[in-house]
Structure 1
Amino acid sequence: MARESFDKEIQFLRMLALAGGAYSRQQFADRLGISVHTYDKTLRNLKEMVTVLQQGLPLEQGTELSEGLRYNYYESADPLLLFLFRAKSIKETESIRLTLLLTAVQSQELSARDLQDICSEQLPADCPLPDEKTIRGDLKYLEEVGVIIRSNGGRPYRYRAANDLVNQLSDDELMDLFDYVDVIANTQIPSVQGYLLRDTLKKVLRKRGFNAEAAETHRYKYNYHSRILDEAHLYTIFRAIQQRKKLHFLYLSPKKGKNYASQNTNPLFERETKGITETVLPLRVIYDHQYGRWYLIGHNTRIGIMKFRMEGLTQIEEGDTVQEEEFTRKLSAVEEQMKTSWVTDTMRTIKVVARFYNPEISGANFIRERVEAQGQWGTITDESEATFRYEINVNGIYEIKPWLRSFGSSCEVLEPAWLRKEFIAEWKEIHNYYESIRENI
């Protein structure tokens, strides 16, 4: 899949997941900055990807794209958001061929010549037949990623599926492993690798005769589906940080209301979807748990420290390498400036003081537990059995403010005075929304 296409599919799926059927075809295309014709073509390509990646699956395991949109309320590893990662950088013919190779070596050891014969017999008529060099290249790739093993012995080399781990586990052990992966994938970040492993283990359990629904003992309500799509850029950015390389990309600010900028010659769409081309040295990646957003923190020669929402990054390419001393110096400057940032804010430091009220019902003090877990470097001081005081020095208040507001009547802002006044005004406004309604209207 081409890099530009992958960017488009990500933004397409993001809008499809978040908006569902709220937009018409024209509105959807306008929001993406593409034509209706491109919209239809992209939707058709996505459906074809789903079909290719599900070849050979039993009927109950397959799903149409439209079915994938109907989220199970508790199902977080939804194929709609994951199949794109399976299809990334793999051509349709490669996907079909690799599926045949992996299926063939599940139960027996086969040589490259044997696998070539199998592909020649089972590939669709419209797919080109692979030669032995192509098959050996596929086998080398599958061996490198650890999904097949070369058996001991001389030439010709024979290969089998790397299923030793799951095959040696008892049913109870396999179920315990699935439960562990299920919990970690839903609670830790990044998650895509865990979701793919979870999906694989679910298939193994199903193969052993376990009902998929009965195997899932843990249930989750996942609110930020688009976070999974943002992880598409994560490893490219991590690699650039490790190799001290700059990144070139087109940035589309989420505030602009445009999600994608196509690389075409149509003046209409080029004018409507124009973003900002940036070159930055990536320094840090930050995740905001409250909103489920990834941020890239980098240094730009012209502006200095810059912050980007990862969902706005498109057309990412690696650039020049910088010296280790330069990277260390800029990273130290960022860490110093952001050491009291609630998430990414770099405004002046402000002291925030709040009083929290313990729940009146005896038992677990979920207010205190949440402040201790999420309050970062803030300090907690007991005032009485009913209240405790929370103090923190933080860069600005705009990122911590939603967190304080989320406690409702259990939190009272004390300092700064102007922030307290803002909260009073906001709660009064909310109160007005719930004034008594005349019943005789």
Structure 2
Amino acid sequence: MAKESFDKEIQFLRMLVLTSGAFSRQQFADRLGISIHTFDKTTRRLKEIVGSMYQHLPEEQSKEFAETFRFSYYDSTDPVLLFLFRAKSVKGSESQRISLLLGAMNEQALTAMELLDICCSGMSSDLPLPDEKTIRSDLKYLEEVGVIKKEQGPRPYRYRIQNDLVSALSDDELIDLYDFVDVMANTQVPSVQGYLLRDGLKKNLLRNHTDKHAIEPFLYRYQYYSRILDEAHLFTLLSAIRHHCRVRFLYFSPKSEKSYASKNTNPLFERESNGKVVKTLPLKVVYDHQYGRWYLLSYGREGILKFRMEGITQIEEDMPVDESLFETKTNELEEKIRYSWLIDTGRPVTVRARFYNPGPTESNFVKERVLLQGQWGEIVSEDDVSFTYEITVNGTTEIKPWLRSFGSSCEVLEPIQLRREMIAEWKEIQSYYEFV
């Protein structure tokens, strides 16, 4: 998807959102493992991106950088952090060249040499002129991401914009498609490619002079910032899983004091990193709906490994492994997480809980939620007042927050250890509300 990595900006934005401006510049730089100079340079770069996003607004409505993370959700239907994917998909030096290529291919199908001539004559004098190898590399990238299409025929091959979808539909059909993509991108995972498709459809509709209000009928309040940020690595990992390839990356655990380290190419400035260099075989990617987190499950020397994707940086594909090895380890993983509420691979334990109905005159939303979210658990007994739910899970750590979220409508019966833990937690909560 992205042609250039942007690990630093991802961690920068995550820190900014989580701390809400509570860190000083020095604390921020220390946490990211960068200098204050790099911090300031990254801030200026992100300010420029925000400015380019809101350049269509009147001056009195333009937003300062920090304010873009606190603005009214009803001012825009875009999730705030998506702009990073738009701005960093290609390097700044490549943007003008690729724009020229797309503009030329929008008119007619052209060969690589014809596109080279157009680029050389149309590029700014202060930018280096591309060669044939660069143009062919750009065409390969654009073809991989589905922007252009190679036409059938003899060499030299001709390339054209792949816009058959929008050109074959009427404005009303495009609006219906836009509405569908808008809803799905805001409610399903993964969503980044959906947002980019939505942006393309919106630009095409506005180009056809469609009323802007007609294509923005829905407003969403975006909840999980990390979900969008972590999707930067998602497609690399899915590709590695599809092709049975190992991956290499630098990992920072959630407990690490730092969350980023620059990739130094000059040995004079090389320094020890707080992150852990990992080489592993990805097997499965899991999304936690409750907390909006992505997890990577993989196989390494230590066996089955788990990584929070928010701590992954500098990810690269490595050599492929034998298909039989991949299938063996995948089956081993599936057996280990067979009874996982999410990704726990601990010892299976049976949990029994009593859920109390809200009342005879109210809709039984408690039971509806248990049936919807209770996975493979079963209701084993029921009366007018309550019902008993039973499930076998790997450990109780992951199911505990779900049980706790029902408040007084849920009473844990077994195992006794979990019951004691819940009693202790509710007593602690009760102590917060005692009279002082």
TM bucket by the smaller chain?
A: 0.7 to 0.9
Identical pairs, percent: 57
The CA deviation string for residues 260-286 of structure 1, in whole angstroms up to 9 with x for no partner, is 123448999945x51222222222111
- Structure 2 counterparts to residues 241-390 of structure 1, below 5 A: 241-264=241-264, 270=271, 273-301=273-301, 303-360=302-359, 362=361, 364-390=363-389
* AA matched with 2:408: S
Deviation at 1:234, TM superposition (A): 1.5
- Structure 2 counterparts to residues 126-205 of structure 1, below 5 A: 126-130=126-130, 134-135=134-135, 138-139=138-139, 141-149=141-149, 161-205=161-205
- Provide the residue aligned with 2:399 in structure 1: 400
Distance 1:92 1:247 in 2: 27
Change (3 A) 1:277 1:93: closer
- Provide the residue aligned with 2:98 in structure 1: 98
Distance 2:115 2:67 in 1: 34
Change (3 A) 1:110 1:320: closer
**Higher mean Cα deviation, 136-145 or 418-427?**
136-145
* AA matched with 2:378: T
- Provide the residue aligned with 2:82 in structure 1: 81
Change (3 A) 1:2 1:372: closer
Contact 2:2 2:85 in 1 (8 A): no
Structure 1 alignment gaps of length 5 or more: none
The CA deviation string for residues 102-139 of structure 1, in whole angstroms up to 9 with x for no partner, is 34554x33646776676556544422344576556544
Distance 1:172 1:220 in 2: 23
The CA deviation string for residues 74-106 of structure 1, in whole angstroms up to 9 with x for no partner, is 656435334336524x32121122123334554
Deviation at 1:155, TM superposition (A): 9.5
Change (3 A) 1:168 1:330: closer
Change (3 A) 1:120 1:34: same
Change (3 A) 1:403 1:115: same
Deviation at 1:362, TM superposition (A): 4.4
- Provide the residue aligned with 1:430 in structure 2: 429
Distance 2:179 2:71 in 1: 21
Change (3 A) 1:194 1:247: same
* AA matched with 2:98: L
Distance 1:2 1:193 in 2: 11
SS across alignment from 2:353:
strand
Deviation at 1:25, TM superposition (A): 1.1
Contact 2:304 2:333 in 1 (8 A): yes
SS across alignment from 2:42:
helix
The CA deviation string for residues 7-46 of structure 1, in whole angstroms up to 9 with x for no partner, is 2222112212333322221111011111111212222344
* AA matched with 1:126: D
- Structure 2 counterparts to residues 221-240 of structure 1, below 5 A: 221-240=221-240
* AA matched with 1:83: L
Distance 2:270 2:409 in 1: 49
Deviation at 1:382, TM superposition (A): 4.9
* AA matched with 1:422: E
The CA deviation string for residues 380-411 of structure 1, in whole angstroms up to 9 with x for no partner, is 24512332221101111111001111111221
Change (3 A) 1:345 1:135: closer
SS across alignment from 2:246:
strand
SS across alignment from 1:391:
strand
Distance 2:137 2:416 in 1: 67
Contact 1:349 1:394 in 2 (8 A): yes
SS across alignment from 2:18:
helix
The CA deviation string for residues 39-66 of structure 1, in whole angstroms up to 9 with x for no partner, is 1222234445667x86xx9724997755
Change (3 A) 1:79 1:199: farther
SS across alignment from 2:6:
helix
* AA matched with 2:427: K
The CA deviation string for residues 277-304 of structure 1, in whole angstroms up to 9 with x for no partner, is 2222222111111111111111222x21
Are 2:216 and 1:216 aligned?
yes
SS across alignment from 2:258:
coil
* AA matched with 1:377: W
Q: State how many pairs are aligned.
A: 430
Contact 1:349 1:393 in 2 (8 A): yes
**Higher mean Cα deviation, 170-179 or 222-231?**
170-179
- Provide the residue aligned with 1:59 in structure 2: 56
- Provide the residue aligned with 1:29 in structure 2: 29
Are 2:408 and 1:409 aligned?
yes
Distance 1:40 1:58 in 2: 22
Structure 2 alignment gaps of length 5 or more: none
Distance 2:241 2:143 in 1: 27
How does the TM-score come out when normalised to structure 1?
0.84
Deviation at 1:143, TM superposition (A): 4.4
* AA matched with 1:387: S
Distance 2:63 2:41 in 1: 20
- Provide the residue aligned with 2:17 in structure 1: 17
Contact 2:280 2:299 in 1 (8 A): yes
